[in-house]
C-alpha cells in the first residue's frame, strides 16, 4: 500500500502524539512494514510502534489470527497480554471502534492504562459474546452486553 504523504504524516506526526494506539493486524503491518503471522510478531509490532514511531503505548490486537483473541499492550516498559476466548458469531462489526472507545472512556475516568485496557477488553468481549444477528453480513456488537455479564455473575 502506498499512501504517499499520508503514511509519513501518520508515522511522523500523529503516532508521537498518541497516548495509546490500537491497531489490528493489517493496520500494524502498515505501520511497521512487517508481516504479522503469530504472537511474537504481534509483540514485536507493539514494541516497534512505541520505540520507533513514538506512541506512548501500543495495543496490537490479535483478532485476525486463529484461536482465542489475544492482544498485546506495550507501555514502553512491559508487554501485557489480554486474552479472551473467541465466540462463534458474525456480529463483530465495530469491535475495534468499541474497544478503543472503551479504553478512552476508562482512561477519562482516571483508570491507569493497564486497567483501562483490561476493562475495555472485558467490555468488548461481552459486546461480542452477547451480540445478535441484525441484517445481512456482519452485524454489530451489543454494547449492552456488559450488563448481561453482570447478571450472569
The C-alpha atoms of residue 92 and residue 89 are separated, in whole angstroms, by: 7
Q: 11, 61, 121, 129: which one is catalytic?
A: 61
35 has catalytic annotation: no
The C-alpha atoms of residue 96 and residue 31 are separated, in whole angstroms, by: 17
98 has catalytic annotation: no
* 3-class DSSP state of 2: coil
Q: 62, 63, 94, 145: which one is catalytic?
A: 94
C-alpha cell read off for 15: 503516532
141 has catalytic annotation: no
The C-alpha atoms of residue 53 and residue 85 are separated, in whole angstroms, by: 31
Place of cell 476493562: 119
Q: 22, 92, 125, 141: which one is catalytic?
A: 92
Q: 95, 98, 125, 141: which one is catalytic?
A: 95
92 has catalytic annotation: yes
Exposed, middle or buried, 70 (CB in 10 Å: 0-12/13-18/19+)? middle
Q: 96, 104, 119, 139: which one is catalytic?
A: 96
94 has catalytic annotation: yes
95 has catalytic annotation: yes
Active site residues: 61, 92, 94-97
Amino acid at each position: 500500500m502506498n499512501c504517499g504523504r499520508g503514511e509519513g504524516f501518520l508515522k511522523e506526526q500523529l503516532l508521537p502524539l498518541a497516548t495509546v494506539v490500537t491497531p489490528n493486524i493489517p493496520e500494524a503491518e502498515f505501520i511497521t512494514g512487517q508481516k504479522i503471522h503469530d504472537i511474537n510478531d504481534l509483540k514485536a509490532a507493539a514494541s516497534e510502534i512505541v520505540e520507533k514511531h513514538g506512541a506512548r503505548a501500543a495495543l496490537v490486537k490479535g483478532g485476525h489470527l486463529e484461536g482465542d483473541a489475544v492482544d498485546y499492550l506495550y507501555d514502553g516498559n512491559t508487554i501485557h497480554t489480554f486474552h479472551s476466548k473467541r465466540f462463534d458469531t458474525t456480529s463483530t462489526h465495530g469491535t475495534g471502534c468499541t474497544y478503543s472507545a472503551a479504553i478512552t472512556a476508562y482512561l477519562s475516568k482516571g483508570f491507569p492504562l493497564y486497567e483501562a485496557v483490561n476493562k475495555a477488553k472485558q467490555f468488548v468481549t461481552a459486546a461480542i459474546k452477547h451480540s445478535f444477528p441484525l441484517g445481512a453480513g456482519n452485524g454489530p456488537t451489543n454494547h449492552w452486553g456488559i450488563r448481561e455479564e453482570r447478571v450472569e455473575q
